[in-house]
Copies of this chain bind each other. A is one copy, B any other.
Amino acid sequence: MSKINSTSVWHRLPCAIVLFQVALLVLFAIFVTYDEHTDAKSQTNLTDGTQNQVNEVFPVFLDVHAMIFIGFSFLYAFMKQYGFAGVAFNFLMANLTIQWAVIVQGFFHFYHDGKIHIGLYNILAAEFACAAILISFGAVLGKTSPAQLVVLILLEVPIYSTLEWVVGEFLKVSDVGGSIIIHVFAAFFGLTVTRVLYRSGLTQGHPKDGPSYQSDLLAMLGTLLLWVFWPTFNSAVALKGDDQHRAALHTFLSLSASTVTAFVISIVLDEKGKIKMAHIQNATLAGGVAIGAVADMMISPAGAITLGCLGGMACTLGFEYLTPFLAKKLKIQDQCGINNLHGIPGIISAIAGIVCILLSSEENYGLSLYETFPHMSPQVDDPRLQELLHDFPALKAGFGRRASDQALYQAAALAVTIATALVGGCLTGYTMKIPFLTQPTDDQCFSDEPYFKVPHTGEKEKALEKDFKNSELTCPFKENCV
């Protein structure tokens, strides 16, 4: 790493952020306008305020909002001397990410008449993109400067949005909770970035790389928040009605099973049977990822529990065996174990999706098969469509895909996602290596000190306290003291 010039270091980060925010402001000013739900002009005398999209989107938005800004923030505050950075950088970067994603996703999906048209829904969609970026952060947490993270955002958002567009527009796969598109993508992207940024100096561990009692507890707050709101996350974009209902129900059951499993495996793995809080902080959430791609399908409640058990088991075992293996053999230093929580359970979910789709039929879905899998609905010119419309007038024509076709598309989506993540992560990782971005030295890793004014009870304060005129500070009401 190049020698850091002190004067310039601390100008680079604010410059990078200022430039980014100003560029975003300019893009908003030129391209972004209101959509039909937020534009006053689009309201007529017949407009019923209770039908505005805000009523449907707002509760979902708030839950996901809490996950992104409170859940991730405190989960990433698990290191003893990296709590400020864990919380605050998550806060900063999530905001840059969401603004940027509104623009990029806007060009893909909401651009017409020379403008991107937005409402609260766009913020929600951007928060899904943000989840992917924050997951990728986990691989390099504490080992990258904020300026590097800005670059990661700058590149990963368009890569993610392109993938999202390709998968949504051409492959049209089922992935209601984003297990493929968000979790698998983010995990492989992050792993690739951390591989490129490999640090030989950390192979023997780092004195600051670990939790304190308090940081472990605060991180649990993050975990529990994510855990509580995950049913919202997985059901947010499901079809209203029974599909959404199943998505929430399955997600709860799967999370519940992965929580139980995480405890069991954590106990079994330790020779004294002692539970590792890192397992509880992460593997309890694996059920939410493992169920993601199939949450709205007819997998049965027992199926949801089974997937949760698999996810929780894979995640806990991953922390114990896979993470050290990757670090040692493949030089992939996965700081938060995102491969265990997002990579492996995401792949489990993708495979579960393929299996479930192969087994899906009118027998177990009734005619709403063609609502849950709209692309399996007959094509416009198919006489079968007319038959179905007789019993199911609301049906829309689809692509006439058979279950096996759809399963192949699912597999293709997984492959495309992993490939995009590897290529994109490589590109991003090498870009993050440019010396200008002031990557911290090994010594500076996992520490708030380089970035924050950290409160100490230092010499100065102690002196001040001594000087202070009252020598009985702890018992101010003299008369009351024993």
Contact = CB atoms under 8 A, between A and B. Distances in A.
A473 to B, nearest CB: 6
Nearest to A52: B241
A165 interface: no
A392 to B, nearest CB: 4
Interface stretch (A136-144, A255-263, A351-359): A255-263
Contacts of A38: 242, 245-246, 249
Interface residues of A, number: 164
Interface string A1-27: 000111101110110011011001100
Given A95-B260, A120-B249, A306 B25 contact: yes
Given A70-B225, A452-B274, A10 B119 contact: no
Contacts of A468: 206-207, 443
A242 B40 contact: yes
B77 A284 contact: no
For A7, A118, A249, A280, the residue with the greatest tally of chain B CB atoms inside 10 Å of its CB is: A249
Contacts of A188: none
A327 interface: no
Number of copies: 3
Contacts of A371: 43
A241 B40 CA distance: 10
B461 A475 contact: no
Contact of A263 (B7, B17, B368): B17
A38 B256 CA distance: 19
B364 A33 contact: no
Interface stretch (A83-91, A336-344, A401-409): A83-91
A211 B461 CA distance: 12
A239 interface: yes
Given A37-B245, A248-B58, A453 B277 contact: yes
A103 to B, nearest CB: 10
Interface stretch (A173-181, A295-303, A376-384): A295-303
Nearest to A463: B207
Interface string A210-230: 111110111011001101110
Interface string A266-307: 011010111111001000100000000000001011100110
Nearest to A389: B45
Contact of A34 (B10, B221, B246, B454): B246
A200 interface: no
A455 interface: yes
A160 interface: no
A413 interface: no
Contact of A221 (B21, B41, B70): B70
A113 interface: no
A98 interface: yes
30 contacts: A7-B479, A9-B480, A21-B260, A34-B301, A44-B392, A49-B244, A52-B241, A66-B228, A83-B217, A84-B216, A84-B217, A84-B275, A84-B277, A88-B275, A88-B277, A91-B280, A92-B259, A95-B256, A118-B249, A120-B248, A120-B252, A207-B461, A213-B454, A221-B221, A272-B477, A273-B480, A443-B470, A443-B473, A447-B474, A447-B476
Given A14-B267, A207-B461, A207-B468, 14 more contacts: A7-B479, A25-B306, A25-B309, A49-B240, A49-B243, A62-B63, A62-B229, A83-B217, A84-B213, A88-B275, A207-B464, A275-B452, A276-B453, A447-B473
